[in-house]
Amino acid sequence: MERTAQRSDARPGAANRPPAPVPAPADDRDVHPPARRIGIDIGGSKIASAAVAAEVTAGADPDDLLRHHRSDPWESRDYEAAVDGLARQVRWLLDELAWPDAAVGVSVAAFLTPDRSGIVEALNLGWRDRPLARDLSVVLDLPVTLHNDANAAVWGEYLLAGSPAEGAFVLLTLGTDVGGGVVVDGRLLTGAHGIAGELGHLTVDPGGQVCVCGAAGCLAVYASGAAIAAGVRAAVPAADLARAGGGAPAVTALARRGDERVLAVVDRAAAAIAAASGQISRVVDHHTLVLGGGAADLGDPLLAAVRRHLSAGVPVGPVRPHPHVRAARAGNRAGVLGAADLAGRR
């Protein structure tokens, strides 16, 4: 989105002309983050927070970067009470580190206003039309930056990949839903309406199952962790799952043992991911596709299946898009890491 500025010394009649656009920075890496940063990742069941003072470099261990990383369950989802709770977490970090101040970055699973100052709607929290960045900034008297959770996560993974200056870097988070984020030539894509990167709702099967969003055949219907778990429960008797340890660990264990029933479910998810990747490639032609979220713990069975489906995908003329596919490096710490690094940038 272009930003505009009014000149106070404009010539007579200049008010009738549109202001000249002010160019945005070449990329998000050009705006260096403050030395002291705090990241908060607001999830559906808990709130994670940590401080970051070091520069994030390729291959760094997130545990070495995140200081006083903690994850606390919700005390109350009442909005005003939540703002107070977030402020307490920030103040605790400031006290522990003896920091006089810091820039604060917050990530949340929500649709945000285009300028990312507030929440339009956070379905899992029951919040609507809440100016979270402003409210938290007023309580703390500190600058607060707000980002969608998947966008913060892709930024965290992008940093750990060495912040490649060129090309497109894509993250899909395979959790309860499917989230997504895209970085192109060093810029985090957010879009004119703040919905760039909503990759979980790309249509991969127009005649398929209806998604919670109301559309049919979304990627999330087939590739979310919830969808994979439901598919496995339908295909594998409960006794077999219990013998394998139960829950998500059982799904991962059976997949890695080569259980054909589980691998069929994983293959369906992989085919959907490859189909979505093909659509994404026609817009940004990404060089890297990172899979995160709980379902990414499936590891090689999922990654290999995605690569296989990409290799068999429909070419674009003489080109068959095949990005490098790998698992996320930061796990559930990507959101708080990305939020902290984005604090104070924009």
* Contact between 86 and 40 (Cβ < 8 Å): yes
Question: Which domains are assigned to the chain?
Answer: 28-155+334-342 (3.30.420.40), 164-328 (3.30.420.40)
* Contact between 21 and 4 (Cβ < 8 Å): yes
Strands 37-42 and 103-108: parallel
- Please write the tens of the pLDDT for every residue from 271-321: 999 999 999 999 999 999 999 988 899 999 999 999 999 999 878 878 888
- Per-residue pLDDT band for 12 (boundaries 50, 70, 90) equals very low
Q: Is 171 helix (H, G, I), strand (E, B) or coil?
A: strand
Is pLDDT of 11 > 50?
no
Is pLDDT of 29 > 70?
no
Which range (4-8, 85-89, 154-158, 330-334) has the least confidence? 4-8
- Please write the tens of the pLDDT for every residue from 69-120: 988 888 889 999 999 999 999 999 999 999 999 999 999 988 899 888 999 9
Phi-psi region of 35 (alpha: psi -120 to 50; beta: other; left: phi over 0): alpha
DSSP assignment letter at 190: -
* Contact between 262 and 251 (Cβ < 8 Å): yes
Is pLDDT of 53 > 70?
yes
Which range (32-36, 146-150, 282-286) has the least confidence? 32-36
Which tokens in the block code for residue 55?
């520069």
Task: Report the chain's mean pLDDT, rounded to a whole number.
Answer: 87
What whole-number distance in Å separates Cα of residue 205 and Cα of residue 189? 25
